[in-house]
Structure 1
Amino acid sequence: MTTLLIAEHDNASIKDATSKTLTAAAALGADVHVLVAGENAKAAADAAAKLAGVKKVLLADNAAYAHDLAEPLAALIVSLAPSYDAFVAPATSRFKNVMPRVAALLDVMQVSEIIKVVSPDTFERPIYAGNAIQTVKSKDAKKVITVRTSTFAATGEGGSAPVENAAAAADPGLSSFLGEEVAKSDRPELTSAKIIVSGGRAMQSRENFAKYIEPLADKLGAGVGASRAAVDAGYAPNDWQVGQTGKVVAPELYVAIGISGAIQHLAGMKDSKVIVAINKDEDAPIFQVADYGLVADLYQAVPELTDALGKLGK
């Protein structure tokens, strides 16, 4: 059995989600090859080759894979399918778009967001917003799997796998790249941040996120998150959303400010090592999962906390 891991990368380096997914792929008990598809992505392929346990890296360097279009990448993976028994990718936004297409083209069922590999054909995955764990056994000859990376430790370096070129597959021509607006930030990405400060609907405006949440996050060197309610209200951008329909995170410290703790949000952050909640409603569900809770007006408590952290840093 040989497994193909499709890498999440930025052409220059491998994302943390890839090294965590490698841990899950290795648990299948098979040789693991890594596919790096992009444009001018040799540096990312070389980084993948250094990950421990990788037997081979396939580099598909072509303009067709430059902009994360799902259809060309799915066609590439399917073209490589005869050589592999399993296809594994992190459950990121990119691969939530790609892997279902791969499963459909191969006429198999996808096993989504696994949190444990029981055996090469049996997996555990959360259902009902994380309130139950489902054990799934796949009888498909070829398995298509996405991994909830927050539950796996990252694989370290120490490998020296060969890098081989992979021929580009025929582009289905179902989509084309028109343009993009990339949000740039000095803050860590949510899925890899060790500390996250999140705000909820109680923030009341985008300006309040900038005034209260972001300064605290900057003091902590943290990523900034938001509940779905805050995103839907336009207080925060979509890529800040934490929850069942957003990003699933498990940082060392998660600070929830003005977040009530709806099931949808808890599903995305309840595996955090330490959870701190600030909310003026003492009956808010967030306090049921919080390690530390402060019942207070966030507009008073958050500036005081930010100032205190500033004094500690001097």
Structure 2
Amino acid sequence: MRPRTPLTALLAAAGLALTAAGPTTAAPVNAAAVIDVSTASQLKAALTAVSPGDTIRLADGTYTGNFKATRPGTPGARITLTGSSRAVLTAGGGYGLHLNGASYWTVHGVTIRGGQKGIMADAANGVVIDSVTVHDLAMEGVHFRKSSRDGVLKNSRIHDTGKNGRGMGEGVYVGTANDLTDRSDNAQILNNTIGPGVGGENIDIKEGTTGARIIGNTFDGSGLTGANYDDSWVDVKGNDVLVEGNRGTRTTNNGYETHTQRPGWGCGTVFRGNISDLTGATGDRQLAVNVTNNSATCRTTVHASNTVTGGKGLTNITVTP
């Protein structure tokens, strides 16, 4: 069997620093490593060399290019990409950071700007995106796609997306339109600030996905244009979604909407404890929660704990105590 090239040698060839994450004495051969990077080329090299349990640590500075990770971590040995908000991944096109099959990654603290899309997770389970800033993109900010299950986006800020002027550019996009094979289930979108300048819905949950949790976020719909039906902060087309404890301001029409794009989808959404300010909305409905698909076989529940200022009311269905 041909011997493997040591990780230290691979990283040294790229000018990278490697330190043990654990004690400095008698560290095991396969100990988790901290890989310090300060240039775009070093980052690309680290993304190809990283192993489960490792951490890539970015120095402050600008990293220009498109960055792709394909090596997965494991549930017990996650891979971490971390830096401060002054570590900025800047793309001229394409994806800023593409987690392609890179399951069990944590992306923490960094800023991603420019390009077509900010962070794209494809077939990547258990991805955690925490305390990042994503902005100034042609299209959407963060996208969980190709059955990327159990993804988490939390404590982050997304603004100024959809700058190509086509009325697209959601802040957060879960699933794929009209594709029921994309089971990007159980996405958790928690305690984020989304907007201003988001050129589509702040959050779009697509048909085919189940179990999303949208909790504790702050929405600013000032970037909504009305093109491609982007007239609300959140549009739910998946099943069994919880929308709870969010606060929204500035929308062109409604606060939240549910739709059935494909039979059997857009069902089971629960709205609870959301605060909606529809002041200035000019659409034809102007409801905090507009439900287009409530029936005996496709229930939506709007609790009385939701509140609304301005507009024409809380919802168009019977409110649940």
Which of 1 and 2 has higher RCO (CA within 8 Å, sep 6+)? Answer: 1
Give the TM-score taking structure 1 as reference length: 0.29
Return the structure number with greater helix share.
1
Return the structure number with greater strand share.
2
